[in-house]
Chains A and B, each alone.
Chain A
Amino acid sequence: MVHRARMGHPGGDLSAADILAVLYFHVLRIDPARPDDAGRDRFVLSKGHASASLYATLALRGFFSEDLLTTYMRPLSSLNGHPDRNKVPGVEANTGPLGHGLPIAVGLALGARLTQGTWRTFVLTGDGELQEGSNWEAAMAAGQFGLDGLTLIVDRNRLQQGDTTENTVTLDPLADRLRSFGWAVVEVDGHDVGTLVATFEALPAAAGRPTAIVAQTIKGRGVSFIENRVEWHHRVPTDGEMALALGELRDPS
């Protein structure tokens, strides 16, 4: 999709792909035929720049036709560079500016409590994204409200747009920081599907607290020359790189 559109964020797409797959194919109680069902689990992609991964996941899960994916970022397409809940079935929040998803998710989780809703709320943020103060305002509120229907997944790939997170503004010790805000924290390998499944099945990690899953990931996961390389935050593969990348993803060795 990024290759065809000549634009996008392949690094962050790939680091989140396994998490999205587990959520949409195993965890979320959702019905693609009824994307507006009031009782559905809510998933907010806060790192909206990973839109290609989200759209591909939604299409495979049946929210819309896979054919639509070829229109990614084309003129007048519903598949904008950042997701739009009013145009794409299954999208819950219009993200793109970092640091918006967690506050929205706190509202969704609190809303479930206030309306006796049974849904659970999940939100995926980047790690660099956590430098935005709004996340910590929301984290405090979630701790205060004891929102155990809320699960934050942090795509901890240790890279942001221009450098590593730790060279920019350090996030470690991330788990301790979240704990001190009243969260139950689990650290997992964000590419180990079995562990992810088990972690999600054991939610909430502590009664009466929101859960944060710090998912250790690799930016650009699955493509050797993209993995852990900061420039691939928003680089577009050439035709040759595209062929190589597809080969590696089809036949990982």
Chain B
Amino acid sequence: MTTGADCRVAFADTLIELAANDPRIVAVVNDSVGSSNLRGFRTRFPDRLVNVGIAEQNLVGVSAGLAGAGLMPFTCGASCFLTGRALEQVKADLAYSRHNVKLCGMSSGMAYGELGPTHHSIEDLAWTRAIAGMTVIVPADPIETVQAVRAAAAMAGPVFLRISRMGVPAVHDDAYRFAIGRAAQLRRGDDVTLIATGVLVHRVLEAADALSRDGIEATVLNMATIRPLDREAVVAAARRGPIVTAEEHTVVGGLGSAVAEVVVETHPVRMRMLGVPGVFAPTGSSHFLLEHFGLTASGIATAARDLLRDGR
């Protein structure tokens, strides 16, 4: 079992740092000050934290209005409710209206584990990436979280930032430079490309190590931006050979689908899409569920081996 840093800490520290220099920044929450790790923000900027209560549709609508007033809301809540409950507000009030709101989906994926499918947010990438004008970012570790928050603030327009509460080890070093829409190549190999996002990136790196011990060399891409997708990186991967995608999300409509959309139109190759296979998860912790669905280093390595064997 891997432990590491909770990306919410890097998120909140960066938000405070940005807010100190940018008076447009406000945090907007739905009774989620604690779960969004914003107590520090509230202490520092008590009048720049807006709590609309347990009311997500209102949360996103109010955020649109605040943006219309010239502010830059960072709107934070559990990802499942922030996206699912307020999806039409996200579409009409943020994306279609092109309002400068940063939606910060906390405890995304299956981070809420035992709290069950109502609290899992494994459809949020499919939902948000289907909407025109949305930028969708999934940081893989605290270093990337810091830069993703800064990049979201630096651009105009709606962004969905998907933040986990699962501890993850660092996959990037301080020299790393995140750019919206650009995949990061973390490893180079010619046999197969493993593309992952968010908390699965470090597991995919471990899978690549395991494959290498068997003489299979993998390229590993961290696809931190789901929309706009780095098409060039996907095409280059397809030209090299088969592709395995891994995401803490349903396999319907997320990273794997986004990659496949590019692959089938440009350079069709065999793919394996790893994720939650279109079911509601059983009871279990986030770590248990990742294992249950084969989203472990060994599960990913096995899928890559199977793909290479079947594909030849």
Contact = CB atoms under 8 A, between A and B. Distances in A.
A161 B114 contact: no
B288 A75 contact: yes
Nearest to B58: A133
Interface of B: 31-35, 51-58, 80-81, 84-85, 112, 114-119, 282-285, 288, 292
B54 A132 contact: yes
A180 interface: no
B114 A128 contact: no
Nearest to A129: B54
Interface string A215-227: 0000000000000
A82 B32 contact: no
A82 B54 contact: no
A65 interface: no
B54 A160 contact: yes
Contacts, number: 86
A228 interface: no
A120 to B, nearest CB: 26
Interface residues of A, number: 31
Interface of A: 5, 7, 48, 73-82, 84, 94-99, 128-129, 131-133, 160-163, 168-169
B31 A162 contact: yes
Contacts of B35: 161
25 contacts: A7-B114, A73-B114, A74-B284, A75-B283, A75-B284, A75-B288, A77-B283, A80-B116, A81-B115, A81-B116, A81-B283, A82-B119, A84-B116, A96-B115, A97-B84, A133-B58, A160-B31, A160-B53, A161-B31, A161-B54, A162-B32, A162-B33, A168-B31, A168-B53, A169-B52
Contacts of B58: 133
Contacts of A5: 114
Given A81-B115, A82-B118, A97 B85 contact: yes
Main secondary structure of the interface of A (DSSP, over half): loop
A76 B115 contact: no
A97 B118 contact: yes
A174 to B, nearest CB: 14
B283 A128 contact: no
Contacts of A160: 31, 53-54
B105 to A, nearest CB: 14
B56 to A, nearest CB: 8
A73 B114 CA distance: 5
A49 B3 CA distance: 27
Contacts of B115: 7, 80-82, 96
B118 A96 contact: yes
A98 B54 contact: yes
B1 to A, nearest CB: 14
Contacts of A82: 115-116, 118-119
A209 B149 CA distance: 51
A80 B285 CA distance: 11
Contacts of B32: 161-162
A76 B292 CA distance: 10
B215 to A, nearest CB: 35
B53 A97 contact: no
Contacts of B285: 75
A168 B53 CA distance: 6
B283 A169 contact: no
A199 B146 CA distance: 55
Contacts of A98: 54
Contacts of B53: 128, 131, 160, 168-169
A234 B80 CA distance: 18
B234 to A, nearest CB: 34
